[in-house]
Amino acid sequence: MGLQSRTISSIARGLKPAQYKAPYTRSIQVVIARNIQLASASSPTHTIKTCPRAHGYVWQRSMATVTNSTESTPPPKGVYVPAVLFMDQNEELDIPAITSHVLRLANGGVTGILVQGSNGEAQHLSHEERKLAIATTRKVLDENGFKDVVVIAGTGAQSTKETKKLCQDAYDAGAAYALVLTPSTWPPQMSKANIIRFHREVADASPIPTMIYNFPTVTAGQDLDSDVIASLGTHPNIVGTKLSCGNIGKLQRLTSSLSPAKFATFPGKSDVFLQGLYSGSAGVIGALPNVAPKAHIHLFKLWKDGRLDEAAKLQALLSHADWQLGKVGSIAGIKAVVSKHFGYGQRFVRGPLGPVEDINAFTIDKLEELIALEKTL
């Protein structure tokens, strides 16, 4: 059979170019052969690989990638979920439960799914497991009519070299963006100059746009200030940030300093979702949508429709529920709550973390109120 030329955004299911549209996709021509090569008149040829554990599935490629002469675009505004990664009692990836979770989130209307954020236990996974998690998420979305749902991959590592490799792996597995956590093994050595150099070198090498992940709790207290992030935001392949520091002042400074057409600023917690929107954020990337994606989409719609009193009331519920979920146990707590209320997955996490043994030992009245609302939406 002769070689066929198609747009890369439509190769996943053999669609004609006109049948697939996405706001963040730019069509380019590829030649499909044993390896799929992405050719550009102004850049070297790259190879798009399939995940070896995904039965040769060819991933839909959202072309947010840059060449030396092109600026990347940020992810669309909306609600993003740093998805938990379900495991079985042997601490192996539970693919059926992961599939169920991805589908519930997508059916809930989320804009995108972050695979291997802090809630995805990225640091506990091998490279192959990380690729499998990304590939599975993209495949499930594509095969169930959710091609427009964005996949972001966490690619944090403790060296520049490994972070670059994880960005390449994320691209190979089907992610559209890479969320990069600052290394934290040697905090005294991570000067502002070293931090800026790290993120720039990763962005230079990454085949997909990168985003800066600022989460002091998991980086030995390193908290990137707005000057550092704004400086990095001028790089053509750095397109956003997730601020799990919860600093609304920092968020406001960034949204007023960087064009939203080039740089998306997201709070990393649901308890400041509405406050972030008032300050110019692009939405939210928070753990609570693992439990209640529809409620977050509803708040975003209330905000856009100008129904601000209703939005404020819902935000109050989200803030209380987010606080209670954290008390239950963060990653393990999310898994336990989802398993109990939505009927899939188990409470197991990978050691040294431990599972939540008894969810009833916690006061979660506001969280349960939110879940009840979620089931009516």
Catalytic residue positions? 242
Q: Which residue from 147, 149, 161 is spatially nearest to 115, judged by alpha carbons?
A: 149
Q: Are 184 and 161 in contact (CB under 8 A)?
A: no
Report the helix count and the strand count for the chain, using DSSP H and E: 11, 12
Token output for 255: 């949204």
56 Cβ neighbours under 8 A, 6+ residues apart: 50
Spatial separation of the C-alpha atoms in residues 38 and 62, rounded to whole Å: 13
Spatial separation of the C-alpha atoms in residues 270 and 362, rounded to whole Å: 20
Within 10 angstroms of residue 70's Cβ, the number of other Cβ atoms is 15
Q: Are 265 and 258 in contact (CB under 8 A)?
A: yes
Token output for 20: 């697939």
Ramachandran angles phi, psi of 113, nearest 5° = -125, 125
Within 10 angstroms of residue 140's Cβ, the number of other Cβ atoms is 20
Give the β-pairing of 210-214 and 43-48. unpaired
DSSP assignment, residue 58? P
Within 10 angstroms of residue 197's Cβ, the number of other Cβ atoms is 12
Bridge partners (DSSP) listed for residue 31: 5, 37
Spatial separation of the C-alpha atoms in residues 208 and 176, rounded to whole Å: 6
DSSP assignment, residue 87? B
Give the β-pairing of 43-48 and 36-40. antiparallel
| Strand order, beta sheet including 238-243 | 264-267, 238-243, 210-214, 177-181, 150-154, 112-115, 78-82, 283-285
